[in-house]
Every structure is written in structure tokens, then in C-alpha cells.
Amino acid sequence: MIIDTHAHYDDEQFDIDREELLNSMKENGIELLVNVGADMESSEKTVELTQQYSHVYGAVGVHPNCTLDLAETDIERLKELAAMPKIVAIGEIGLDYYWDDPERDIQRKWFDRQMELAREVKLPMIIHSRDAAKDTLDMMKTAHAGDMSGVVHCFSYSVDMAREYLNMGFFLGIGGVITFKNAKKLKEVVEYAPIESIVIETDCPYLAPEPNRGKRNSSLYLPNVVEEIARIKGLEAEQVVELTKQNALKLYRL
Ligand code: NI
């Protein structure tokens, strides 16, 4: 069965049918999923979801675009949340120069602080990096991320950059974008990366795969992502499900 390594079911887009949807996962081949925090509120909600559903695990952290009002007291709170039983990672953390807000110095300060937190609590990191390839890599190297572990979620860079992260022992998170016709660069990355380094994710409610591109995404669309990875790697869909599941279990130490 499939593991969704990155989802946001706390999002208000799921307010109308969250319970029904989450209760339908297992019968639709989704074994477990990791709900990922993006700010303090969604990190708190993530913990609640892990308590309500046996197949929901969680990550707590603050997304770069949500770091403007962050304070050291929030980091202390994240540390408490990270100690909860089903919290398996710190994330999503990183740099986003596409939206470029707040200013880069603030993003970098809190990325660094949250990498330090991951080290303190001994959990893997979920990295969000958009249009910030060089700074992300430089900061991770400076923080010795190579002797921690984690995933670069919704990987969007080149093969050269993928090689750098793979050398650090990080996984690459692949989601709906891989099914898009214009995703040439990402298809090259999936061709290049060993299947042992790939994990499957939705980032739902965003980034639904074809043929549902543009709609609200959910873990139920993951078979479309699996099929495209299988096609690129010359594997059976069942093999991709099984191998990426083992990778996800290893990533989150489940
Ligand atoms: Ni996300």
C-alpha cells in the first residue's frame, strides 16, 4: 500500500469532508500519511490529526513564507510538539525565493534555527526549497545536514542539484508535477535518481496530478504519480509502491 509522505489535511479546503476522506484512505490503498505543518497553527492541528487517526503521522515546523512573526518561544513550542508520540519530522522548513517574502535574511535565520531544532530533537527534516537552490544547499552544508537526514519535498531542481542532495543522503519527494507534460526537467531527475532515494507525496490540497490537474488534490490520486514513475523507471506500478513505501518507512524511521 502507498505512503503519502507529505500532505496538508489541516487545510480549510478539507473542512467539508476531512473525516470521510481520511477514513476512506485504507480501502483505497493508502496505508499511512504524514501531515506536515506550515505554521504554528497547522503544526498544532497536525498533532491533533495524529491523535484522531491511527494512520496519520505528523511533522511540525514553519514554512519559509510564514516566518515573519516567528519568535524563539515558538521554537520552544515546536520542540514540545516534536516530542509527541507520532511526530516523525521537523518541517516543512527551508527557503522560498519565488514568493520572496519575508525578506531573505529572515527566511534564512529561521531555516537555520529549525535545522538546529531538528538536530536537537533528533528528527529528520522536510525541506521546502523553491527558486533558492544554491542558498538552500550552502546552508544545509554549513549546518552539516549530511549527518542528519530528511527529504527535499516537491523536488523542482536539476539533475546536478539532485546529485548534491543524494550525496548528502537525502530523499527526493516526487508528487503530481511528475505527471505534467511540461515537467521535462523533473522526469530527467526521476530517471537519474535511484528508486531507493524516491518517496511519493501529494502536497495536497495542492498540485493534483493529471488527469485531475487544477482540482483539489488528495492522497487518492497518488496512483497517477506511481504510474508515471513506473513508466520512467521501467518498473511495474506494484514495485514502485513497495519500494517507495520502504523508503518512506526508512525516512521517517517508522
Ligand atoms: Ni507542503
* Domain enclosing residue 188, as ranges: 2-251
Ligand 1 centroid vs 36 CA: distance in angstroms? 7
Ligand 1 centroid vs 203 CA: distance in angstroms? 5
% the chain with pLDDT above 90: 100
The 10s digit of each residue's pLDDT in 190-202 is 999 999 999 999 9
Residue 225: C-alpha distances to residues 12, 45, 180 (Å) = 24, 27, 10
Ligand 1 centroid vs 91 CA: distance in angstroms? 9
pLDDT recorded at residue 170:
98
How many distinct structural domains can be found in the chain? 1
Ligand 1 centroid vs 59 CA: distance in angstroms? 11
Ligand 1 centroid vs 237 CA: distance in angstroms? 24
Ligand 1 centroid vs 76 CA: distance in angstroms? 22
Ligand 1 centroid vs 125 CA: distance in angstroms? 13
CATH of the domain at 172: 3.20.20.140
Question: Is residue 94 very low, low, confident or very high in pLDDT (cuts 50, 70, 90)?
Answer: very high
pLDDT recorded at residue 185:
97
Cell of 8: 496538508
pTM higher than 0.95:
yes
Span of 23-27, 82-86, 98-102 with lowest mean pLDDT = 98-102
The 10s digit of each residue's pLDDT in 138-168 is 999 999 999 999 999 999 999 999 999 999 9
pLDDT recorded at residue 205:
98
pLDDT recorded at residue 101:
92
Ligand 1 centroid vs 6 CA: distance in angstroms? 6
The 10s digit of each residue's pLDDT in 48-70 is 999 999 999 999 999 999 999 99
pLDDT recorded at residue 44:
98
pLDDT recorded at residue 98:
94
Ligand 1 centroid vs 174 CA: distance in angstroms? 12
pLDDT recorded at residue 36:
98
Ligand 1 centroid vs 182 CA: distance in angstroms? 21
Ligand 1 centroid vs 231 CA: distance in angstroms? 25
The 10s digit of each residue's pLDDT in 203-243 is 999 999 999 999 999 999 999 999 999 999 999 999 999 99
Ligand 1 centroid vs 129 CA: distance in angstroms? 10
Amino acid identity for residue 74 in this structure: D
% the chain with pLDDT above 70: 100
